[in-house]
Amino acid sequence: MNTETPILEVNHLKAYIPSSKGEIKPVNDISFSIKKGEIVALVGESGSGKSVSSLSIMGLNASAIKYRPESSILFEGQDLLKLKEKELRKIRGNDIAMIFQDPMSSLNPVHPIGRQIAESIILHKKVSYKEAMKLALDLLNKVGIPDAERRLNDYPHQLSGGMRQRAMIAIALACNPKLLIADEPTTALDVTIQSQILNLLRDLQKEFGISILLITHDLGVVAETADRVLVMYCGEIVEEGNVEEIFENPGHPYTKGLMDSIPSLYGPSKDILDAIPGIVPNPLELPQGCHFVTRCAFATENCHEDSPTLKKHTSGNRVACWNPLIKEGVEGR
């Protein structure tokens, strides 16, 4: 399924917010790539920089957020960070599309669903409004909305939560994007509907070969959906690996903590605060050395001074930790 050409390559992405109290670095030097047809999950606690990372790809971060010049986001070889707004607009919704956490607030309350899907098509394709509405109808059928013909003229408030998220996905799929970014697409939905939406995403990926960047803090979602996992903490990627390896053989103490907090059928699950004691540090006062040091049970002296970088281990995972939980040793970068 995975061909080797990456469709997206994020290199040394550094996003910062200058402020009078000092600089906040919501994303501090992260690099990763997404291959064609791959589902990559980006996980981490609230505030770890997941949304800022994904909005960087879309070029939709608040204007307060700046990028260091060495950052680059290559999409099919083009650096998105260097593109002009006008050129970015041609890519947004067309090659890269996005769905958001809360489908109620993410849909325009005063426009019918059909019109919101058709808008995307008209923006990028030379079709009439009528043809666009026909395509919108096909899309609603494709994402599994029953009675699609009637739903076309419905307003968002007339749909259930799950239907709204399906409509959101229909908007995102309107122009057959190559990359779909889903920022917590199931967090606002209840459990049964969550797995329906995840199934839908997986089916779409299989059917159309779309690459998906799936952002979530729910590891259950990750296990169900993703091929590969990126774990973020305080703006940095602390572990990266295939989904099986991450679950079976977590290398970073933070990843391990996240795993322990998953509710399980077999043993007592821990609350996230039991699994990982303490709180996420204030982004203005990040600890020196490893940012996880304030909450880590495995911390040693050098953790307080030197920042660990990602190193590849024999398990295949890349881990940024001086004392990784995988003991087979380092394979080099």
Ligand X SMILES: Nc1ncnc2c1ncn2[C@@H]1O[C@H](COP(=O)(O)OP(=O)(O)OP(=O)(O)O)[C@@H](O)[C@H]1O
Residue 293 interacting with ligand SF4 (CB under 6 A): yes
Task: Tell me which DSSP letter residue 281 carries.
Answer: P
Alpha helices in 92-190 (DSSP H): 103-106, 113-124, 129-142, 148-151, 161-173
Closer to Mg ion at the Cβ: 51 or 116?
51
Residue type, 192: T
Q: How far is the CB of 235 from ligand X (least distance, A)?
A: 7
Give the contact letters, 141-170, x = binds to another protein (CB under 8 A), - = no.
--------------x-x----------x--
**Which of the choices Mg ion, ligand X, another protein, none does residue 119 contact, using the CB cut-off of 5 to 8 A by kind?**
another protein
Give the contact letters, 229-258, x = binds to ligand SF4 (CB under 6 A), - = no: -----------------------xx-----
Handedness of CA 99, 102, 103, 107 (dihedral sign): negative
292 binds, among another protein, ligand X, ligand SF4, none (CB under 5 to 8 A by kind): ligand SF4
The secondary structure of residue 92, as a DSSP letter, is: B
Tell me how far apart the alpha carbons of residues 271 and 232 are, in angstroms, rounded to a whole number: 19
Residue owning tokens 């774990």: 231
What does 322 interact with, of ligand SF4, another protein, ligand X, none (CB < 5 to 8 A by kind)? ligand SF4
Name the nearest CA neighbour of 202 among 193, 212, 192. 212
Compute the C-alpha angle 11/16/21, nearest 5°.
160
- Told to check if 51 binds Mg ion by CB under 5 A, we report yes
CA gap 305, 225 in Å, rounded = 37
Interface with ligand X by CB under 6 A: which residues? 17, 24, 26, 44, 46-52, 62, 64-65, 217, 283
* Buried/exposed code over 101-121 (b: 16+ C-beta within 10 A; e: otherwise): bbbeebbeeeebbbbbbbbbb
Q: For residue 213, which of 105, 96, 310 has the smallest C-alpha distance?
A: 96
Give me the 55-94 binding string for another protein, x by CB under 8 A, dash otherwise: ---x-x----------------------------xxxxxx
Nearer to Mg ion, 45 or 224 (CB): 45
Note whether 303 binds ligand SF4 by CB under 6 A. Answer: yes
Residues that bind another protein (CB under 8 A): 58, 60, 89-94, 97-98, 100, 102, 105-112, 119-120, 123-124, 155, 157, 168, 171-172, 174
Residues that bind ligand SF4 (CB under 6 A): 252-253, 290, 292-293, 296, 298-299, 303, 308, 321-323
